Amino acid sequence: MTALLNAARTGFAEIWAHKTRSALSFLAIAVGSVVFIDAFSAIVHTYERLEQQKQVSGMARMRISQNNSQRFASPDDVGPPPVFTYEDVTALKARLPGMYMISPEGRDWMNVFQYGEHRVMTGVHGVTPDWAKRDFVYTLKGRFLDWHDVENKLRVCVLVRKAPPPPSNAYNKTMMKKYNFSGGFDTLVAHNDLLGKKVNIDGYTFTVIGVLEELPYSKRPANIIGSQQDYKILAPVTTLIHYNFIGSYQSLDVNIDTGSEASFGETERKVANFLKIQFGDSELFVIENQLEAIRERIATSLKSALVTISLGMLAFIAGGIGIMNVTLATVFARTREIGIRRAIGATRSDIMLQFIVEAVMLGLIGGLIGSALGWLWGVPVKVMLGMGGSPIEPWMPLVAVLIAALTAFAFAIYPAWVAAGLKPADALRAE
């Protein structure tokens, strides 16, 4: 312990005596610490978002949709493929008991929504209570649709209040302005309390039983299976079919979540058999394997995160090389001192300890400076630049300092070994 304390005291004196050289060494490691903290916070943030997304979106999902390519498969027999009706959904549920979610969905476009003197354009989605089991990024006021509403074809609806859009560039803002035909509806819902009110949709009176408020984009898990539908009004799918919002020529899409990845393959085979039995040809519908899309998206996100952390490690290695160069230069500059110490009884291990401790002190100080700079960059600076703050956990700077010290230790071994290998007589002759 005494030898270690003496080495630390001598090392600090050497660092203080060569402030410029030491500052450059600090900077090399500090850059590595900044990159590492930023990279690791990005990995943690990515992992947390993926876990949230998996909880919200589910993993074992598939989607049945109409195969529109069949419409033009033959020039002599052009016509739409058969439609997936609500009765087919009921039959599918009977064939697949125990599924976590079987959620049919149909949409009607360009509907006239009227409340008082306000008349705006919007769209209506027909769903069931199962819709709320996945991708639910809302807070609910009032109540959601229930099976009583669906079974009795009640004219009730749930409105979606949009969250403020995220920061965007001029081009995206222009495209939104060009294609957002339902902007008037969004404004109407945002500025009026419609819960419990009577509204008119295409001439039919509906009661607003609930309002879904979108979570802010900063708190919303991103959809890991593609772009999310732009929902405006949700009503019982049976109601929309009964009142001809969804025509007999329109096919329902069906989202299925098995609740378990282990049962996904077997469920997919059962769905294909059901389509073949029900419609005579399973090719008339497409079974979208969303599980594979989710896995690919997760793998891509994690690969990007690993690339980021690799950059952090490369920055540390660059800093370590800088410390090795500085330590080697120090060894050659202090050759005579090494000879004197060896002549008065210092062992090779004492010499190695001296230079390793000095290098580790450079790494520790550089790591501490880099941790402070990493926090400044990741929290206040990024926020001021509009980039969003990094989720820096308290343990990240500690790990960065530890890695900085270990890096300095690893790269100081060779220079310390060179110093310890100098023969006392040769070292004493050095000028």
The two three-digit tokens of residue 249, written as one number: 């020529």
Residues 175 and 316 in one domain: no
Q: How many domains is the chain partitioned into structurally?
A: 2
Query: How many Å apart are CA 129 and CA 36, to the nearest integer?
Result: 45
Burial class (CB in 10 A: 0-12, 13-18, 19+), 418: middle
Residues 129-147, mean pLDDT to the nearest whole number? 93
* Residue 361 belongs to domain spanning: 2-54+308-429
pLDDT band at 325 (very low <50, low <70, confident <90, very high): confident
In a domain, 273, yes or no: no
**Looking at the structure, do residues 46 and 107 belong to the same domain, yes or no?**
no
On whether residue 274 sits in a domain, the answer given is: no
Q: Is residue 404 part of a domain?
A: yes
pLDDT more than 70, % of the chain: 79
Q: Are residues 34 and 89 in the same domain?
A: no
Residues 376 and 418 in one domain: yes
Distances (CA, A) of 15 to 45, 341, 388: 37, 19, 37
172 and 30: one domain? no
Same domain? 119 vs 183: yes
Helices (H) and strands (E) in the chain, counts: 14, 10
pLDDT digits (tens, 9 = 90+) for 350-393: 788 887 888 888 888 888 888 888 777 777 776 666 666 677 77
pLDDT band at 11 (very low <50, low <70, confident <90, very high): low
Sign of CA dihedral 185, 186, 188, 192: positive
Which residue in 321, 317, 301 sits closest to 33, CA to CA? Answer: 317
* Closest to 189 measured CA to CA, from 179, 199, 181: 199
**Rounded average pLDDT over 100-111:** 93
Position 349 in a domain:
yes
Answer yes or no: are the C-beta atoms of 32 and 319 closer than 8 Å: yes
Contacts of residue 240, Cβ cutoff 8 Å, sequence gap at least 6: 106, 108, 124, 126, 246
pLDDT score of 147? 97
Left (φ > 0), alpha (ψ -120 to 50) or beta: where does 140 sit?
Answer: beta
Q: What is the pLDDT of residues 406-415, one digit of tens each?
A: 888 888 888 8
**Do residues 156 and 246 both lie within one domain?**
yes
Residue 314 φ then ψ, to 5°: -65, -40
d(CA 265, CA 245): 35
- The pLDDT value recorded for residue 426 is 55
Residue 106 has pLDDT above 60, yes or no: yes
Do 245 and 319 lie in one domain? The reply is: no
| Band (45; pLDDT cuts 50, 70, 90) | confident
Q: Are residues 89 and 28 in the same domain?
A: no
With a cut of 90, say whether residue 403 has pLDDT above it: no
Is residue 243 located within the same domain as residue 145?
A: yes
In a domain, 27, yes or no: yes
Token pair in block for residue 103: 């959620």
Mention every residue, 6+ apart, whose C-beta is less than 8 A from residue 158.
142, 144, 145, 208, 209, 210, 211, 212, 233, 234, 235
For the ranges 37-41, 47-51, 97-101, 290-294, the one whose mean pLDDT is highest: 97-101
Q: What angle do CA 302, 218, 167 make, to 5 degrees?
A: 105
Report the C-alpha gap between 322 and 389 in whole angstroms: 30
Last residue of a domain, one of 232, 250, 268: 250
DSSP structure class, residue 378: I
Higher pLDDT, 87 or 72: 87
pLDDT on residue 101: 94
- Please say whether the dihedral angle defined by the alpha carbons of residues 306, 310, 316 and 320, taken in this order, is positive or negative: positive
Give the model confidence (pLDDT) of 240-265 as tens digits.
999 999 998 899 999 999 988 888 88
Same domain as 90, residue 38 = no
Indicate whether 135 belongs to any domain: yes
The residue out of 250, 270, 292 marking a domain boundary is 250
89 and 153 share a domain?
Answer: yes
What is residue 202's predicted lDDT score, i.e. its pLDDT?
95
**70-75: average pLDDT:** 59
**374 domain-assigned:** yes
The mean per-residue pLDDT over the stretch 83-99 comes to 94
> Is 207 in contact with 196 (CB distance < 8 Å)?
yes
Q: Which of 233, 250, 267 is the last residue of a domain?
A: 250
Q: Is residue 425 part of a domain?
A: yes
- Residues β-bridged to residue 229: none
